[in-house]
Amino acid sequence: MWKIGLVLVYPIQVAIGFNLIWVKRWLGLIQTCSIRVDLGSTQVRPDPGLEVGSGFGFGAPNTSGNWVQFHLSWEMARVQVFLATLGTSPSKLNVVHQHGPCSSLTHQYKPSHVDIFRQDQARVEYIQHQAANATTGLNVIGGSLSARVPAKIDYSLGVFDYIVSIGLGTPTKFFTVIFDTGSDLTWTQCLPCINCYNQKDPIFDPTQSSTFTTIECTSNYCIQLPRFGCSSTFTCLYEQRYTDSTISKGSLIQDTLKFSDDNIQNIHFGCGDNNTGYFGHVDGILGLGRGALSIISQTTQLYNNIFSYCLPSGPNKVGYLELGSAALGVKYTPMLTNPKMPSYYFINLTAISVGGERLPLSPTIFSGPGTLLDSGTSFTHLPPTVYSALRNIFREKMTDYPMAPPLFDLDTCYDLTNFEQVVVPQILLIYDGEVTTNLDTSGILLLGKKSQTCLAFVENKDDSELVVIGNLQQRRFDVVYDVGNLQIGFGINGCS
């Protein structure tokens, strides 16, 4: 019987015959900090002298259309990279994992699985609460409330969030921020602080910028905020919530934003002087939602209402965030709008396939609550009816491997300790127009440890809740947000 799936491979070194010219071309798509690649031989091997744990592999097509397997270390962060840095255009910067070997944010606290699930669940519960209780009226707070860019995976907010470096003010000061498609407001911590958490970079002092100006609380930008108010001097105040306990408060200001080589004047963003909850050690948020205060909306004339990203598959890999352009070979599905949540990006998930077998479900099970595409949520959250069908078929196709105890909300886990090779069923997410994403292995299994490797999907409380497509299931795709033409696209092999 044929099995449609992916292969995990555990030997430390694998020698493979392949077309060398194709491999060099394929490596042009990859930026990595984890393996030494010898282009003069037929081996992909760990760097000599480094301690390497057990590993897994992935396949890539050769010129004859067959699949060859490459080896990567299970403990990827322990291996170094020796690939030449690829050039970037003026609108692009690299995206890397906060805790990986490419990151400048060293000595960070690495979250446990408990932290990962708590933060992810908190964000999804807040999103579901917004969907169920959203209002369209103004929400005023009291006056007493005092191109490509490098992106990295960060363990805060949604835990597996990705970070980029942007510049603010004149002269330019650089800050590391999470980019978030689920919010509009861009903000960074500012002096003087009422309550600021520790961050790697010096906190922004707007008074030291020659291009800084305050914003009046009667301005159009101020009243676009979800929660706004007036200070005693009639300047605009904001309050931005990400979960019930993760909140940024401060003043809305105007200054220059540097994105890659572009200096963009008169950008409105938050100057957070009272920030509570868990933000990790990043300096703030880059808001890429659909509202008027989003960077996308504020830069329409420059970037034509389009942005794209590719989220890397692991902490030692490099992705990108790009404003104003899109990759070639992308297939588009309509971008939908939820009137209750106008800043979020919605699409229509119509089917799911596991190992070549579509789940026996009506498309209406997805279209009822709606499907939200979110860069800040880690796992994909599915209605119970959908999740049960997915889990059952996945388990049927994984009967060769012993199950392991559940890992929090992940109830389909396996002990792969005694296996050198594992065949994992392919999972396809299929959107309106038969636009299909064939998930990377890192979007199917949470590879925490070989003795407890789990299906990376989570069950919602009931079928009325939103489907949320998390960033684990977006890895390695070119994801294009063409806001002007109301479409979202997916392309393959956008990054490694």
Say yes or no: 349 and 481 in one domain.
yes
Domain boundary among 266, 289, 322: 322
CA end-to-end span of the chain: 31
List all residues 6 or more positions away from 485 whose beta carbon is below 8 Å from its beta carbon: none
Please check whether residue 127 lies inside any domain of the structure: no
74 with 140, same domain: the answer is no
The 8-class DSSP code of residue 125 comes to: H
Same-domain check for residues 316 and 335: no
CA dist 50 and 30 (Å) reads: 21
- Comparing 318 with 193, the larger pLDDT belongs to 193
Residues 349 and 269 in one domain: no
Mean pLDDT throughout 170-198?
A: 95
Last residue of a domain, one of 274, 295, 322: 322
- Residue 93: the pLDDT is 60
Query: For residue 270, which of 344, 180, 198 has the smallest C-alpha distance?
Result: 180
- Give the three-state DSSP class for 26: helix
Judgement on whether residues 315 and 168 belong to the same structural domain of the protein: yes
Q: Are residues 107 and 30 in the same domain?
A: no
Residue 129, domain member (yes or no): no
pLDDT above 90: percentage of residues in the chain: 55
Say if residue 48 is preceded by a cis peptide, omega within 30 of 0. no
Is residue 83 a part of any domain in this protein?
Answer: no
Report residue 230's pLDDT band, with 50, 70 and 90 as the boundaries: very high
The residues carrying an active-site annotation are 180, 374
Binned at pLDDT 50, 70 and 90, residue 451 comes out as very high
Q: What is the dihedral angle through the alpha carbons of 150, 156, 161, 162, rounded to the nearest 10 degrees?
A: 0
Tokens of 277: 């909850």
Which of the two residues, 53 and 388, has the higher pLDDT score? Answer: 388
Find the Cα–Cα–Cα–Cα dihedral 45, 50, 51, 55, rounded to 10°.
-20
CA–CA separation, 130 vs 377, rounded Å? 15
Parent domain of 255: 92-118+135-322
Q: What is the DSSP string of 351-387?
A: EEEETTEE-S--THHHHTT-EEE-SS--SEEE-HHHH
State the chain's mean pLDDT as an integer: 78
Residue 496, domain member (yes or no): no
* CA dihedral for 299, 303, 308, 309, sign (positive or negative): negative
Distance CA 389, CA 393 (A): 6
Q: Is residue 108 part of a domain?
A: yes
Name residue, tokens 């792969």.
416
Q: Which of 299, 322, 345 is the last residue of a domain?
A: 322
Q: Please check whether residues 197 and 245 belong to one and the same domain.
A: yes
346: CATH: 2.40.70.10
Cis ω for the linkage preceding 192 (within 30 of 0): yes
User: What's the number of domains the chain is made of?
Assistant: 3
